[in-house]
């Protein structure tokens, strides 16, 4: 489904997005420009070929390749500005953007310098009506010690909009309990806690994320659909699942959960999860790398069978579950309600 299938009214409404990786928002043309900045010739056709994957492992390799083109603070400022402009074009007024601090450290960069450049780039976006907050992300397969290094940096930038710590990467690489001390530290520092779980893994990894790590939102969480008791717990505790349908198709995550060779967007469990009372927030994950946008994801909900009323409710949930003080959430919700009149 194309964004053109959405009503003019829906297109005009303020929107929020909560699961969005900065590095995954880099368009192929920008990758080429970044490469040229650093003395490397890269054709756009070649870059576009890199943006095709048959499974999750291939996507991870492509993500590593894309991030290799980010080498200095100016690069991060550039991609922050470009992402912000694309969000503004979709009437997104609030986004929580995940930043791969773990990858920066692996590449021996200075996360502080990169982040400060991004903050400067986001100042102009704020004036245009887009507020960005940040999630500092570690990489699961890099281990607990590397994750703790990211966790220790994150609290230093609370006043610059860092609201949470998360872990992405290969959720099957290491046991959840290995990161308990990291998440205990994050909680002590007053930051919110996130983790990717149940993307390619099963329901037990989602349960562990909540019970062992105290995760407040779950990245993807598809595996939860196999465990009715877990779904009930998530619904009761109002722990949102950050659902990214096109991502789940492109990485083969949904096919894996359905134990099939392939899957279609119409088979996504998002409608069932929403109708069972779960808090679900719709996101793009890595929009450029999955050839999607937030508007495209909302358009796909029609193919999944959501009604317009359900789509509006889905959009409202991203404001409800944002990591914002209650007063600020009410202000955003009020602005959205006014726009609906």
Q: Pick the catalytic residue from 27, 199, 216, 242.
A: 199
* Region 1-16 average pLDDT: 85
pLDDT-derived band at 250 (thresholds 50, 70, 90) equals very high
User: For residue 335, is pLDDT > 90?
Assistant: no
The rounded mean pLDDT for the chain is 95
- Do 218 and 225 form a contact (C-beta atoms < 8 A)? no
Q: What residue ranges in the chain does DSSP mark as E strands?
A: 15-21, 92-99, 131-139, 162-168, 192-197, 217-220, 241-243, 280-282
Label residue 319 by pLDDT band (50, 70, 90): very high
Dist CA 203 CA 223 (whole Å): 5
Q: Which two structure tokens, joined as six digits, stand for 85?
A: 């402009």
Q: Could you tell me the pLDDT band of residue 1, with boundaries at 50, 70 and 90?
A: low
In DSSP terms, 164 is beta-bridged to 135, 192
Task: Provide the pLDDT confidence category of residue 3 given band limits of 50, 70 and 90.
Answer: confident
By C-alpha distance, which of 217, 220, 224, 240 is closest to 316? Answer: 240
Is pLDDT of 155 > 90?
yes
How far, in Å, CA of 190 to CA of 192, rounded?
Answer: 7
pLDDT value of residue 6 = 87
Orientation of helix 203-211 relative to helix 228-237, angle to 10°: 30
Percentage of residues of the chain with pLDDT beyond 90: 89
pLDDT digits (tens, 9 = 90+) for 24-36: 999 999 999 999 9
Contact indicator for 242, 221 with CB cutoff of 8 Å: yes
If you search the block for the tokens 């995760």, which residue do you land on?
215
- Work out the pLDDT band at 341, boundaries 50, 70, 90: low
Mapping DSSP to helix (H, G, I), strand (E, B) and coil, where does residue 283 land?
coil
Question: Is 91's pLDDT higher than 80?
Answer: yes
Report how far residue 123's alpha carbon sits from residue 188's, in angstroms, rounded to the nearest whole number: 29
Instruction: For residues 101-124, give the mean pLDDT.
Output: 96
Q: Which domain holds residue 241?
A: 3-340
Task: Check if 236 is active-site.
Answer: no
CATH number for the domain that contains residue 34:
3.20.20.140
In the prediction, which pLDDT does 329 show? Answer: 82
pLDDT at 336 over 80: no
- The count of structural domains within the chain is 1
Pick from 4-8, 73-77, 88-92, 221-225: least confident? 4-8
- This prediction's pTM: 0.95
Write a three-state SS string for 107-126. CCCCHHHHHHHHHHHHHHHH
Q: Which strands, in side-by-side order, build the sheet including 162-168?
A: 15-21, 92-99, 131-139, 162-168, 192-197, 217-220, 241-243, 280-282
């Amino acid at each position: 489904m194309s964004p053109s299938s959405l009503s003019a009214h829906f297109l005009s409404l303020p929107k929020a997005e909560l699961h969005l990786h900065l590095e995954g928002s880099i368009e192929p043309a920008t990758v080429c420009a970044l490469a040229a900045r650093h003395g490397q010739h890269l054709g756009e056709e070649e870059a576009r070929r890199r943006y095709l994957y048959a499974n999750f492992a291939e996507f991870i390799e492509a993500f590593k390749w894309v991030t290799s083109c980010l080498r200095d603070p100016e690069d991060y400022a550039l991609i922050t500005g470009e992402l912000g402009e694309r969000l503004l074009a979709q009437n997104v007024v609030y986004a929580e953007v995940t930043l791969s601090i773990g990858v920066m450290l692996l590449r021996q960069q200075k996360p502080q310098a990169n982040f400060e450049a991004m903050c400067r780039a986001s100042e102009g976006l704020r004036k245009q009506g887009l507020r960005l907050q940040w999630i500092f992300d570690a990489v699961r397969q890099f281990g607990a010690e590397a994750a703790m290094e990211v966790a220790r940096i994150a609290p230093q930038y609370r006043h610059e909009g860092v609201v949470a710590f998360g872990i992405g990467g290969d959720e099957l690489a290491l046991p959840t309990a290995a990161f308990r001390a990291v998440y205990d530290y994050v909680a002590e520092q007053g930051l919110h806690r996130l983790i990717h779980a149940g993307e390619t893994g099963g329901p037990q990894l989602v349960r562990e994320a909540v019970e062992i790590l105290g995760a407040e939102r779950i990245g993807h969480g598809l595996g939860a659909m196999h465990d009715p008791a877990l779904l009930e717990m998530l619904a009761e505790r109002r722990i949102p699942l950050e659902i990214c349908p096109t991502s789940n198709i492109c990485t083969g995550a949904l096919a894996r959960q359905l134990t099939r060779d392939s899957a279609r967007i119409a088979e996504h469990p998002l409608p069932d999860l929403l109708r069972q009372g779960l808090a679900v927030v719709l996101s793009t994950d890595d929009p450029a790398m999955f050839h999607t946008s937030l508007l495209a994801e909302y358009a796909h909900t029609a193919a999944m069978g959501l009604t317009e009323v359900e789509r509006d409710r889905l959009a409202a949930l991203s404001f409800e579950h944002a990591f914002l003080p209650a007063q600020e959430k009410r202000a955003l919700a009020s602005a959205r309600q006014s726009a609906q009149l």
